[in-house]
Amino acid sequence: MLAGFVLIILLLGGMAVRSWLVVERFVSQSRQGGELALQLTASIQELGESTVDVERSARQFLVLGDAVIRQRFDENIAHSLAAVDRLESIAVSPLGGLLADWRATAEQLKAGLDGGMHKAELAPLLARLVQLNEDMKAVGQHWVEFQNAQVLLELERNRLRLGWQLIAALLGALVVAMAMGWWLMRPMRHLERAITRLGEKRFDEAVVVGGPADLRQLGRRLDWLRLRLAELEADRERMLRHVSHELKTPLTALREGVSLLQEEVPGPLGESQREVVEILQHNVLALQRQIESLLSLNAASFEARRLEYSPVSLRAFLSEAVHRRELQAQARHLSLRVEAVDSEVSVDAAKLAVVVDNLLSNAIDFSPEGGEIIVRATLDEAGVRLECADQGPGVASEDVERIFEPFVQGQRRAPMPRRGSGVGLSIVRELVRAMGGQVGLLPSGRGAHFYVDIPNERQ
């Protein structure tokens, strides 16, 4: 992760440094170009002013022939040639020929004055100097504009280049971030699946987590926890089997003895003795049902570990489940209605049959005489949803959270006496969790409305 952050910093930081260097170079070029343009313009302007002084002093000397004016002419020529030297030092290539021509014309003018040339002969030389100044001014302005255009063109090129480099840097940082996310999230998903399997009591698959060393260490600790939980679960099941077996054997003898007493095999019983025997018979049967329920719950927990998927038609599956409960429903004058899509799904049919049977049995027990029970099945992208709704007393709000716990029957009683021990919904929860689903209660104005969500393994 640190290497990924360093790489992102290098990408974005390198792009920032690159942009800063480009801006610095552009500022430096602009400053140098401005200074050269200022020197060029000032030197050309100075040369123009000096040329005016040269022309004036030359004409005055031709008229007056005064040595002082001639000295002033020489000073103006020297000043102009100094300006020419500065222009040549700037090294503006278009000005090279004009400056050489200006220097040659100035030499001819000076030689003409020394040779006593007439005014008419010197006039073209003076006009030539003025024209050369105008030409240098135009060339200098064009050169300044060309330099500005070059700087702007270079800036545009750098802008486009920086834009593409910025896009490349951002894409590179995005790729690195996604790679980091994938590298970190992959073991996190493994951890999440491992924790889910542990919560569903599926201890058969080892926990293997890759990625960074600390996550691998966490994976090893989770695998140790898996083994420890598997041992505890095995111990619990072993204890339940032993306790149930140890209780069932003497309980069978006790039940037979009570039956013999009830049948008055040892001898006739008095009225009070018969009441005591009936109490014993009732409690022995209740204890036997509790032990059998405990064994059923333990068997369901064991069977929940093994899943066998097969294609099942929802409508036919629910119709068959309802048919199995038809006689029980007729005895209570109940109406069983199936609402299901005619679709085929891949589920563990045996375990799902136990789930539906327990929900139907619970709904039949709690439905009033002549009531209606609806069994519904829908299919969507999330998987299969089964619903079972009755018209009974429903589930009290304080029992909603614990109704699926073992041996919890809730506060609201069934219309008819029932012999349930309160493990049916617990078995439903165990089997649904084993199939990767969830079970719960939906809000209902009347009766209980259970739902079961399980994934469709064909998706």
Supply the CATH number for residue 409's domain: 3.30.565.10
CATH number of the domain to which 260 belongs: 1.10.287
For 213-222, 280-289, 437-446, which range has the lowest pLDDT when averaged over its residues?
Answer: 280-289
pLDDT score at 18: 78
Is the pLDDT assigned to residue 223 strictly greater than 60?
A: yes
Closest CA to 107 of 146, 74, 136: 74
Is the pLDDT assigned to residue 141 strictly greater than 60?
A: yes
Same-domain check for residues 22 and 123 = yes
With respect to residue 204, please indicate whether it lies within any of the assigned structural domains. no
Same-domain check for residues 344 and 366 = yes
180 vs 418 pLDDT, higher one: 180
Rounded average pLDDT over 277-305: 66
Is the pLDDT assigned to residue 419 strictly greater than 60?
A: no
What are the residues whose beta carbons fall under 8 Å from the beta carbon of 285, sequence distance 6 or more? Answer: 255
Is the pLDDT assigned to residue 276 strictly greater than 70?
A: yes
Rounded average pLDDT over 392-416: 73
Closest CA to 119 of 106, 133, 127: 127
Same-domain check for residues 6 and 135 = yes
How many C-beta atoms surround the C-beta of residue 145 within 10 A? Answer: 11
For 88-97, 258-267, 296-305, which range has the lowest pLDDT when averaged over its residues?
Answer: 296-305
For 172-176, 331-335, 383-387, which range has the lowest pLDDT when averaged over its residues?
Answer: 172-176
pLDDT score at 175: 84
Is the pLDDT assigned to residue 452 strictly greater than 80?
A: yes
Residue with tokens 């089964």: 386
pLDDT tens track for 257-270 = 878 777 777 777 77
With respect to residue 190, please indicate whether it lies within any of the assigned structural domains. no
pLDDT score at 365: 85
With respect to residue 71, please indicate whether it lies within any of the assigned structural domains. yes
- β 335-340/449-454 pair status: unpaired
Same-domain check for residues 279 and 327 = no
Same-domain check for residues 295 and 316 = no
Same-domain check for residues 314 and 356 = yes
Rounded average pLDDT over 361-378: 88
**What is the overall mean pLDDT for the chain?**
79
With respect to residue 198, please indicate whether it lies within any of the assigned structural domains. no
Q: How far is CA 1 from CA 7, 301, 447, in A?
A: 10, 42, 55
For 17-26, 200-209, 379-388, which range has the lowest pLDDT when averaged over its residues?
Answer: 200-209
Tell me the chain's radius of gyration from C-alpha atoms: 52
With respect to residue 61, please indicate whether it lies within any of the assigned structural domains. yes
Two tokens at 327?
């006689």
Confidence tier at 38 by pLDDT (50, 70, 90): confident
pLDDT tens track for 2-36 = 777 778 788 778 878 878 887 787 778 778 777 77
Backbone angles phi, psi at 43, to 5 degrees: -70, -40
With respect to residue 199, please indicate whether it lies within any of the assigned structural domains. no
Give residue 390's domain range.
307-454
Is the pLDDT assigned to residue 115 strictly greater than 80?
A: no
**Domain boundary residue, one of 144, 173, 202:** 173
- Upper half-sphere CA count for residue 109 (Cβ side, 13 Å): 33
Q: Give me the number of domains the chain comprises.
A: 3
Is the pLDDT assigned to residue 233 strictly greater than 80?
A: no
Same-domain check for residues 113 and 262 = no
Same-domain check for residues 282 and 430 = no
With respect to residue 189, please indicate whether it lies within any of the assigned structural domains. no
With respect to residue 63, please indicate whether it lies within any of the assigned structural domains. yes
Same-domain check for residues 328 and 246 = no
Confidence tier at 458 by pLDDT (50, 70, 90): low
Query: Considering the chain, what percentage of its residues have pLDDT values greater than 90?
Result: 3
**Domain boundary residue, one of 248, 276, 302:** 302
Is the pLDDT assigned to residue 389 strictly greater than 80?
A: yes
The answer to whether residues 322 and 338 touch, using CB atoms and an 8 Å cutoff, is yes
Same-domain check for residues 145 and 58 = yes
What are the residues whose beta carbons fall under 8 Å from the beta carbon of 79, sequence distance 6 or more? Answer: 50, 53
Same-domain check for residues 44 and 143 = yes
pLDDT score at 342: 82
CATH number of the domain to which 24 belongs: 1.20.120.1730
For 196-200, 298-302, 354-358, which range has the lowest pLDDT when averaged over its residues?
Answer: 298-302
Same-domain check for residues 93 and 158 = yes
**Domain boundary residue, one of 279, 302, 325:** 302
